[in-house]
């Protein structure tokens, strides 16, 4: 997959997360619990992913899952925190402020992950462009929070 396609795929995923938060927030109103709403969201997602794995005969790698380092198993925790936090925040802050906060946190921590090469990634320096991107994200968040 070329670089432009990867950027598009990542942007599509990010856009769908922006849709997911208000949808899950509305589900929260219906079921009366942020944790139940998040759980339902994950059950639906898990069912879709399981069907995709079955359709692509992707269970073969399951036998090798024990080779993964301990930290490779916390992605679900991160997703659960993100989904729950956004479905609680969106009704109070709005989608824009919530997601500028989410993206600011993502970009800042991603820059640290890149800098130190954590989680098996190659190390990438803090460049002026990366630092400016973080500063601009935080500035955008401050502008929105003051509205």
pLDDT for residue 64: 87
Specify burial of residue 70 (Cβ count, 10 A radius: 0-12, 13-18, 19+).
exposed
16-59 pLDDT, tens digit per residue, is 988 999 999 999 999 999 999 999 999 999 999 999 999 998 88
Q: Tokens standing for 29?
A: 């109103």
Rg from Cα positions in the chain = 18
Residue 7 CB neighbour total at 10 angstroms: 10
Could you list the residue range(s) of the whole structural domain that residue 31 is in?
Answer: 3-145
Domain total in the chain: 1
- CA–CA distance, 128 with 65 (Å, rounded to integer): 38
Q: Residue 91 pLDDT more than 90?
A: yes
pLDDT for residue 1: 83
99-132 pLDDT, tens digit per residue, is 999 999 999 999 999 999 999 999 999 999 999 9
pLDDT for residue 57: 83
Confidence category of residue 63, pLDDT binned at 50, 70, 90: confident
Model-wide pTM > 0.85: no
Q: Considering only the C-alpha atoms of the chain, give the largest distance between any 2 of them, rounded to a whole number of Å.
A: 52
């Amino acid at each position: 997959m070329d670089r432009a396609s990867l950027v598009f795929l990542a942007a599509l995923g990010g856009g769908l997360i922006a849709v997911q938060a208000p949808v899950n927030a509305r589900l929260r109103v219906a079921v009366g619990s942020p944790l139940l709403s998040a759980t339902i969201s994950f059950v639906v997602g898990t069912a879709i992913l399981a069907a995709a794995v079955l359709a692509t005969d992707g269970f073969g790698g399951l036998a090798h899952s024990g080779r993964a380092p301990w930290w490779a198993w916390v992605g679900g925790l991160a997703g659960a925190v993100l989904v729950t936090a956004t479905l609680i925040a969106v009704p109070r802050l709005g989608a824009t402020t919530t997601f500028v906060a989410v993206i600011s946190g993502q970009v800042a921590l991603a820059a640290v992950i890149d800098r130190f090469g954590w989680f098996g990634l190659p190390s990438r320096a803090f460049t002026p462009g990366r630092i400016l991107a973080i500063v601009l994200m935080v500035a955008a968040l401050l502008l929105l929070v003051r509205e």
